[in-house]
């Protein structure tokens, strides 16, 4: 029998001290050198404002109904986004709807806009006329009654407080809802046969065997 080859030593599962570079009084690893401007994503600072419409919608219709109402609205908007764009219903997404598509969407979906957008966050958004979702604020829905900023900002503050607790039930559900658009557009799959598959509602996901390394293809 031939000699067994000695396995090659594996490196440590961390960045060794020798790979660190001293900058002033701090040590910086190789990842910091690759992307010196990279900063960790902060939920409250970076992502919470984007989820305000979904949060307002859930506050209006309830957590049990929000996914269905949200998806109805997003399904209607899918015909108006740029080609092959998967929108999550984030506040900045609405600004990406081409100018030429906005009036047709409003004309076809005025009732849905009133129920899903104006009824949940429209009066708040009317205080931000330069915002990406301002085109969905229809003057006829606001009416002649002036918008009281103190009332609307109090509502906005309450939504922010509810979302700030990012791992609590309300905020966690709001953060999870946009992911189902990836399943809807075949951008995300669940490997068939995993135990987690049976825990997910069939209406919110698509079961697929297209991923490599699935149990049936090994």
135 within domain boundaries: yes
pLDDT at 209: 33
Whether residues 173 and 193 fall in one domain: no
Whether residues 148 and 200 fall in one domain: no
Average pLDDT over residues 20-29: 62
Whether residues 93 and 198 fall in one domain: no
**Residue pLDDT, tens place only, 103-128:** 999 999 999 999 999 999 999 999 99
**Residue pLDDT, tens place only, 47-67:** 999 999 999 999 999 999 999
pTM of the model: 0.72
CB contact set of 75 (below 8 Å; sequence gap of 6+): none
Instruction: Tell me the C-alpha distance between 176 and 171, whole Å.
Output: 9
Whether residues 76 and 153 fall in one domain: yes
**Residue pLDDT, tens place only, 81-106:** 877 889 999 999 999 999 999 999 99
Whether residues 141 and 193 fall in one domain: no
**pLDDT tops 50 at residue 208:** no
Whether residues 59 and 133 fall in one domain: yes
20 within domain boundaries: no
Closest C-alpha to 143, from 162, 123, 129:
123
pLDDT at 146: 81
HSE at residue 95, side-chain half, CA atoms within 13 A, is 11
139 within domain boundaries: yes
Whether residues 182 and 192 fall in one domain: no
Instruction: Please tell me the total count of domains within the chain.
Output: 2
Whether residues 146 and 197 fall in one domain: no
| Confidence category of residue 28, pLDDT binned at 50, 70, 90 | low
pLDDT at 71: 95
């Amino acid at each position: 029998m031939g000699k067994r080859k000695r396995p090659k030593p594996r490196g440590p599962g961390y960045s060794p001290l020798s790979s660190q570079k001293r900058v002033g009084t701090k040590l910086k690893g190789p990842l910091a050198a690759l992307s010196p401007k990279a900063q960790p994503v902060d939920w409250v600072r970076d992502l919470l404002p984007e989820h305000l419409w979904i949060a307002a919608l859930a506050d209006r219709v309830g957590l049990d109904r929000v996914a269905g109402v949200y998806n109805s609205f997003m399904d209607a908007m899918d015909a108006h986004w740029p080609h092959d764009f998967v929108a999550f219903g984030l506040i900045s997404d609405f600004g990406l709807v081409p100018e030429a598509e906005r009036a047709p969407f409003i004309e076809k979906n005025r009732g849905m806009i009133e129920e899903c957008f104006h009824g949940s966050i429209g009066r708040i958004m009317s205080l931000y006329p330069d915002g990406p979702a301002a085109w969905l604020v229809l003057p006829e829905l606001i009416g002649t009654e002036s918008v009281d900023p103190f009332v609307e900002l109090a509502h906005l503050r309450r939504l922010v407080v509810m979302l700030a607790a990012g791992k609590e039930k309300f905020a966690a559900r709001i953060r999870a809802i946009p992911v189902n658009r990836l399943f809807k557009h075949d951008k995300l799959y669940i490997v068939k046969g995993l135990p987690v598959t049976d825990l997910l509602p069939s209406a919110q996901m698509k079961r697929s065997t297209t991923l490599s390394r699935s149990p049936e293809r090994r």
